[in-house]
Amino acid sequence: MAKRIVVLGGGISGYGSAILAKKQGLEVFLSDAGTISPLYRQRLEQWGVEYEQGGHTMERILAATEVIKSPGIPDTAPVVVAIRERGIPVISEMEFACRYMGSARTICITGSNGKTTTTSLIFKILSDAGYNVSLGGNIGESFAYSVATGSYDWYVLELSSFQLDGMFDFRANIAVLMNITPDHLDRYGYCFQNYVDSKMRIVQNQKSNDYFIYSADDEVIVRELDKHPLRSRELPFMAHSAVASGAGDAFLAGGSFTARVGDSSVEIATDKMQIKGLHNAYDAMAAALAALAAGVEGSQVAESIYNFSPVEHRLEPVAEVGGVLYINDSKATNVDSVWYALESMTRPVVWIAGGTDKGNDYTPLKEFAAEKVHTLVCMGLDNDKLMREFKDIVPNIISTDSLEAAMEAARGAAKAGDAVLLSPACASFDLFKNYCQRGELFKAWVVENVK
- The per-residue pLDDT for range 75-104, each reduced to its tens digit, is 889 999 999 999 999 999 999 999 999 999
Q: Kindly report the average pLDDT of the chain as a whole number.
A: 92
CATH code for the domain defined by 4-91: 3.40.50.720
pLDDT class for 348, splitting at 50, 70, 90? very high
Mean pLDDT, rounded, for 172-180: 96
Q: Which H or E run includes 81? A: helix 78-85
Please check whether the two domains, 98-307 and 316-449, share a CATH topology: no
Does the pLDDT value for residue 316 go beyond 80?
yes
Tell me the fold of 316-449: Protein-Tyrosine Phosphatase; Chain A (3.90.190)
Mean pLDDT along residues 356-384: 91
373 forms bridges with which residues in the sheet? 349
Q: How wide is the angle at C-alpha 325 spanned by C-alphas 320 and 330, nearest 5°? A: 120
Q: What span, in angstroms and rounded, lies between the C-alpha atoms of 307 and 329?
A: 21
Look at residue 2 and tell me whether its pLDDT is greater than 70: no
The radius of gyration computed from the CA coordinates of the chain, to the nearest angstrom, equals: 22
Task: Determine the 3-state secondary structure of 21 from DSSP.
Answer: helix
Per-residue pLDDT, averaged over 424-447, amounts to 91
Q: Coil, strand, or helix at residue 259?
A: strand
Task: Identify the band that residue 309 occupies on the pLDDT scale cut at 50, 70 and 90.
Answer: confident
Measured CA to CA, the distance from residue 370 to residue 392 in angstroms comes to 9
SS3 content of the chain, % helix, strand, coil (to 5): 40, 25, 40
The yes or no reply on domain 98-307 and CATH 3.40.1190.10 is yes
Each residue of 239-272: pLDDT tens digit? 988 777 789 999 999 899 999 999 999 999 999 9
Among 26, 17, 110, 20, CA closest to 70? 17
- Residue 1 confidence (pLDDT) above 60: no
Which residues on neighbouring strands pair with residue 369, listed in sequence order?
none
Per-residue pLDDT reduced to its tens digit, 190-235: 888 888 998 999 999 999 999 999 999 999 999 999 988 899 999 9
Please indicate whether residue 141 or residue 251 has the higher confidence score (pLDDT): 251
Task: Tell me what percent of the residues of the chain surpass a pLDDT of 90.
Answer: 69
Q: Is 214 helix (H, G, I), strand (E, B) or coil?
A: strand
Contacts for 88-91: CB closer than 8 Å, 24+ residues apart: 88/62, 88/64, 90/166, 91/66, 91/67, 91/166, 91/167, 91/168
pLDDT value of residue 137 = 87
Q: What is the pLDDT of residue 364?
A: 87
Are the C-beta atoms of residues 79 and 67 closer than 8 Å to each other?
no
Q: Please, what is the Cα angle at 116 between 115 and 119, to 5 degrees? A: 80
The per-residue pLDDT for 433 is 87
pLDDT score at 339: 87
Alpha carbon distance 9, 34 (integer Å)? 8
Lowest mean pLDDT among 181-185, 193-197, 324-328: 181-185
Which residues in 111-244 belong to E strands, given as ranges? 133-137, 154-158, 174-177, 211-215, 233-238
pLDDT over 70 at 24, yes or no? yes
How wide is the angle at C-alpha 24 spanned by C-alphas 23 and 25, nearest 5°? 90
Adjacency order of strands within the sheet including 90-91: 50-53, 27-32, 4-8, 66-69, 90-91
CA angle 53, 59, 62 (to 5 degrees): 95
DSSP state for residue 205 in the 8-state scheme:
T
* Residues 173 and 107: beta-carbon distance below 8 Å: yes
d(CA 317, CA 313): 9
**Nearest Cα residue to 330 out of 311, 313, 310, 312:** 313
| Nearest Cα to Cα of residue 17 among 114, 96, 120, 85 | 96
Q: What is the pLDDT of residue 248?
A: 93
316-321 β-sheet, strand order: 316-321, 324-328, 419-422, 349-353, 373-379, 396-400
- The domain segmentation of the chain, as residue ranges, is 4-91, 98-307, 316-449
**Plot region of 87 (φ>0 → left; ψ -120 to 50 → alpha; else → beta):** left
Predicted confidence at residue 115, as pLDDT, reads: 86
